[in-house]
Amino acid sequence: MATNRTGGAQRPNGAPQTKVCQFKLVLLGESAVGKSSLVLRFVKGQFHEYQESTIGAAFLTQTVCLDDTTVKFEIWDTAGQERYHSLAPMYYRGAQAAIVVYDITNQDTFGRAKNWVKELQRQASPSIVIALAGNKSDLAAKRMVEFEEAQAYADENGLLFMETSAKTAMNVNDIFLAIANKLPKSESGGGAGGAGGARRLADGDTPRASSCCK
């Protein structure tokens, strides 16, 4: 699995005059739906059957190359257990993109995903790009959430939507690429809310927002 060549349309690394954009992306969703697995697949091209549960949050970065820009994702992978909910705003506030993940073999996780979308629409920056990922598509035999149902919901709410599998890598890079394409790449970094300056966590601010194109 390629680690650095995730873009569909690539550019040799270090090509001059490429615009570099940094975006903060957060993963949300019920516990064990495969958030960490998706990130691990995207960033390192690996899949661990026994991926440890996430406590608090984990941070990873990955770069994708589009035609004229290099997009660097700063990814916050959050804890899924409902109890850790109170930490979530710290991570999604100031994020320019979010992937809300559910498990296609578990209807409850889809319900939880919808709640996350609602919360993001209410609390996160208004211009945030939200993608919905129906993960574990390799377990189609045990499907409990229909593709059409999720697609319809995504359309209604203007979300990107894909069914993914961290295990087989299906659609994993694609969903990140789709987000990268949709993100505004103007000089100001798309004007995502709450950018700039180092701020304190105690105020419930983002750990660090960076939405600048250099």
Ligand X SMILES: Nc1nc2c(ncn2[C@@H]2O[C@H](COP(=O)(O)OP(=O)(O)OP(=O)(O)O)[C@@H](O)[C@H]2O)c(=O)[nH]1
- List of residues contacting ligand X (CB under 6 A): 29, 31-37, 49, 51, 53-54, 79-80, 135-136, 138-139, 165-167
Question: Following DSSP, what letter does each residue of 131-170 receive, concatenated?
Answer: EEEEE-GGGGGG--S-HHHHHHHHHHHT-EEEE--TTT-T
Does residue 118 interact with another protein by CB under 8 A? Answer: no
Q: Inter-axis angle of helices 147-157 and 107-123, to 10 degrees?
A: 10
114-134 burial by CB neighbour count: b if 16+ within 10 A, else e?
A: eebbebbeeebbeebbbbbbb
Number of residues that bind another protein (CB under 8 A): 37
Contact string (CB under 8 A) for another protein, positions 132-171, x = contact: ----x-xx--x------------------------x----
When CB distances are held under 5 to 8 angstroms depending on the partner's kind, the choice from another protein, ligand X, Mg ion, none that residue 13 binds is none
When CB distances are held under 5 to 8 angstroms depending on the partner's kind, the choice from ligand X, Mg ion, another protein, none that residue 18 binds is none
Q: Which amino acid is at 163?
A: E
Nearer to ligand X, 119 or 199 (CB): 119
